[in-house]
Amino acid sequence: MLFAIWAIVVIFYVRYKAPVIWQADWTHDDLMNCYRAMETPWRKMLIDTLMFWKPSDLFRPIGEIFYKLMWEQFGFTALPWRLAIGAVLIANAFILGHLANRLSGSMAVGLAATAIASFHSLCLHLYLNTGTVYEIFAYTFVYAGLAYYVQFRDPYLTTVLLILGLNSKESAIVLPVLVVLYEWIWNKRTPWVFCGLAGSVCLAFIFGRVYGPEGLTTIGSYQPVYSLGSYLERFRSYFGPLILWKQIPYWALPIAALPLLLRNKQAVYSVLLFPIAILPLAFVPDRGLEGVYIACAALPLALSSTLLLIPKETWRTAGAALLFLVTAFWMPGAYSMEGWNREQHEIRAFHESLKLLSPTMPKGAQVRFINEPFHEDVPWASTFATRLLYNDPSILIISPNNPHTKDLPEEKDFASFGWRDNKLYRIK
């Protein structure tokens, strides 16, 4: 009964604090990801998921499976996508809460961790951009794998969850370290079987999909620069926002070790979790706090561990409710779409006006946009939006932002459009 009440309260808490989850619409990331998923056969997605060591142009096939499934069921209707993302985010909070319960032996600690993990105002991209589904699913599989291992000590299914996490995003590679860290702190042993399985999986993934030909490190923004200075700067840039201190100075970084004063195992674990979990992104350019979503679990684990100072479980439950209230007042809400309105509105207006002007389009048609709403930084936007609308990758798009097609002859155009007053108008 208590769990059911808590679940309802957490859902309403997230609904109140982050209404932008349900208000958000399509982004340029969504156009790119969904178009790649649309033109990729199911068979290739499943093979690339199974062959996790093989370089893939999908890079992270679990997220692409989500995009393909949602696209085939709901198309451009944004609300089901947002409901799905919101549901997974809330499920992630309960997975972490279950882990805290198993680590502490206290349901009250688990409830508190769930509430704190359910929302963070500076992980804004998680709530506004479906393109963060890769980070979201990586979190799901990392903490589902860790919670499963803590409860059942099964190295085999935990390794399967590791593979699914790696297929979601490479940051899931920290799962084996988190399992070993748990064993060292709680049981003072090394899980050799799991180390062998997980080590083999991680090495295959690193030398195949990450550093292999056409692997992740071939992407410019993911080329790492390994140095202590880079690590310390990333630690500072991620830890500050985690505690709502956006520009935390270096001298204040020892705050991260304060949970050690609680002198319980969960607090120690939370202190070590953050510097470990940021490692996959510690040597590449700053990806925002949502980029280290897995590391953000350190905060709810640390704060909920304070309840272990209370000797009786009934008092801890009252303490969990109080901690929930304090967190709710302390954490700002995500109420504004500022900075995202224009991008999402332009995509929606482009889609709806094109659909109205041309409900159908013949296969392989050549379509010209004399001008368009999209910035030159996203030259593919009109191409992806149009091909997705008609579910046809053969349509040839000519637009001023695309230097490869803008000089093609006009006499072959099936249709041409211009952009005025926030909508398309038909020229031909």
Task: Tell which residue, 40, 216, 20, 50, has the closest CA to residue 130.
Answer: 20
Q: What is the mean pLDDT of residues 125-154?
A: 96
Give the model's confidence band at 182: pLDDT under 50 very low, under 70 low, under 90 confident, else very high: very high
- What tokens appear for 122 in the block? 């500076």
Q: Classify strands 415-420 and 366-369 as parallel, antiparallel or unpaired.
A: parallel
- Is 317:2 a contact under the CB 8 Å cutoff? yes
Q: Could you tell me what percent of the chain has a pLDDT over 90?
A: 77
To the nearest 5 percent, what fractions of the chain are helix, strand and coil?
70, 5, 30
Q: Which amino acid is at 283?
A: F
Phi, psi of 397, deg, nearest 5: -105, 130
Checking if the pLDDT of 258 tops 90, the result is yes
| Verdict on whether the full-model pTM lies above 0.85 | yes
Give the model's confidence band at 343: pLDDT under 50 very low, under 70 low, under 90 confident, else very high: confident
Per-residue pLDDT reduced to its tens digit, 202-222: 999 988 888 777 666 666 566
**Reduced to 3 states, what is the DSSP secondary structure of residue 424?**
strand
If you ran DSSP here, which 8-state letter would residue 378 be given? -
Per-residue pLDDT reduced to its tens digit, 261-312: 999 999 999 999 999 999 999 888 888 899 999 999 999 999 999 999 999 9
In angstroms, the CA 344 to CA 338 distance is 11
Give the model's confidence band at 137: pLDDT under 50 very low, under 70 low, under 90 confident, else very high: very high
What H or E segment, with its residue span, contains residue 233?
A: helix 228-242
Regarding predicted confidence, which is higher, 410 or 217?
A: 410
- Is 316:310 a contact under the CB 8 Å cutoff? yes
**What is the Cα 271 distance to its own chain's centre?**
22
Per-residue pLDDT reduced to its tens digit, 44-94: 999 999 999 988 888 899 999 999 999 999 999 999 999 999 999 999 999
Q: State the average pLDDT for the chain.
A: 92
Q: What is the mean pLDDT of residues 140-154?
A: 97
**Reduced to 3 states, what is the DSSP secondary structure of residue 334?**
coil
Per-residue pLDDT reduced to its tens digit, 305-338: 999 999 999 999 999 999 999 999 999 998 887 7
**What is the Cα 76 distance to its own chain's centre?**
20
Beta strands across the sheet bearing 423-426? 396-398, 366-369, 415-420, 423-426
Q: Which of 24-38, 104-118, 205-219 has the lowest mean pLDDT?
A: 205-219
**Reduced to 3 states, what is the DSSP secondary structure of residue 388?**
helix
Phi, psi of 129, deg, nearest 5: -135, 115
- Is 179:158 a contact under the CB 8 Å cutoff? yes
User: End-to-end CA distance of the chain, in Å?
Assistant: 64
Residue-level pLDDT at 369: 92
Regarding predicted confidence, which is higher, 1 or 236?
A: 236
- What tokens appear for 294 in the block? 């897995």
Give the model's confidence band at 120: pLDDT under 50 very low, under 70 low, under 90 confident, else very high: very high
